[in-house]
Structure 1
Amino acid sequence: MNPNELQLRQQRLLIRSTELRLQLRANLHSLQRPAAMADQVKASLLWLYQHPQWPAGVLALLLILKPKRALSWTGKLWWLWQSARTLRHWRDALLAYLPQR
């Protein structure tokens, strides 16, 4: 290859690299909203985990005001809590098999 061919090849590669970078930016831009929503959900769940008195207070208030509805929701929330614990155990077991960074 002569120097002109190498220079032309280098320019083509730089153009291709720029195109790919712009395409990646466009693809990542479409994921920005769902990622922000997932971060918000994670932050909310963390807050609830750190402040368990609020959900317990709401549940107690519902139990006093609408006992039938509160009891039906209690079973659903208990199932959700148990499912979350099971998923957390499964995640921890899977992470044990992955190589550490």
Structure 2
Amino acid sequence: MNERRLRLALARERLVERSRRLRVEAATQSAVLDPVLNVGDQIRAGAAWVRGHPEALAAALVGFALVRPRRVWRWGLRLWGAWRLLGTLQHRLTSR
């Protein structure tokens, strides 16, 4: 019985060491993704800020509308059309 416990303990130690090496290897290999993930974090933080400060976005849109009203109308119509198209697609996909 002692010999079996010893074998199991050795196997466990090998597995723990292998897990440690694999974690270190995964961490070093994933370091390449850090810049991309940092950009994603910044975008998410910016979106959270905009959700927390909608008045700043509204002020920017009003200012842009005062400077370039034609462009605002053009983009507004495009966004409204895209919104309607998305709603139609969602309705068709969910109704099946």
The answer, yes or no, to whether TM exceeds 0.5 is yes
Separation in 2, partners of 1:78, 1:50: 24
Name the CA distance, whole Å, in 2 between partners of 1:56 and 1:38: 24
**TM-score, normalisation: structure 1:** 0.54
**Pairwise CA RMSD of aligned residues?**
3.4
**Percent pairwise identity:** 28
Q: Match of 2:46?
A: 44
Bigger Rg, structure 1 or 2: 2
Q: SS of 1:72's equivalent?
A: helix
Q: Where is the helix percentage greater, Structure 1 or Structure 2?
A: 2
TM-score calculated relative to the size of structure 2: 0.56
Any stretches of 5+ residues in structure 2 without a counterpart?
A: 1-10, 85-96
Aligned length: 83
Question: Which residue does 1:27 correspond to in 2?
Answer: 29
Higher relative CO (CA 8 A, sep ≥ 6), structure 1 or 2?
A: 1
Q: In structure 2, give the amino acid aligned to 1:26.
A: T
